Amino acid sequence: MHTTLTEHARCLFRDEYRAAPPCDRGHDEAHFLEELTFADAEAIPDMPRQLSPHLVDGYLPVRIRDLGYRLVLLRRPDEPVREAADSLHLHGPDRDDLAAGLRQRAGALHAAAR
């Protein structure tokens, strides 16, 4: 049984860096997506940080990582996650404007917090 969103993702998608936790149940992506949708906003960015620490590595699907970031940004629009911008930037030029906007917002919020 999984105790965290990251453990569930590790069991479902595998992890390039750590072994999956012992698990005796079957998995499907739909169940994971439901857990992701209702996960705590702090738990969501922790998942890609652990499973894809260098952003371009790991087995976590890009669609799952980006959906997680999107959920965090919807819950906390005044706290853009810089990794979300970096992840969007990897999609190519069709997402560069969104990535630049997120980076600009993150920079402005960081400067205002000083």
pLDDT digits (tens, 9 = 90+) for 25-64: 778 899 999 999 999 988 999 999 999 888 778 899 988 9
pTM to 2 decimals?
0.80
Domain hosting 88: range is 5-113
For position 53, what pLDDT does the model report?
85
Q: What phi-psi label fits residue 72: left (phi over 0), alpha (psi between -120 and 50 degrees) or beta?
A: alpha
| Rounded mean pLDDT, 62-89 | 85
Q: Are 72 and 52 in contact (CB under 8 A)?
A: no
The more confidently predicted of residues 94 and 91 is 94
Of 98, 63, 49, 102, nearest to 79 by C-alpha is 102
95 DSSP 8-state letter: G
- Residue 10: which region, alpha, beta or left (left: phi > 0; alpha: psi -120 to 50)? alpha
Domains: count for the chain: 1
* 1 pLDDT more than 70: no
3-state secondary structure of 92: coil
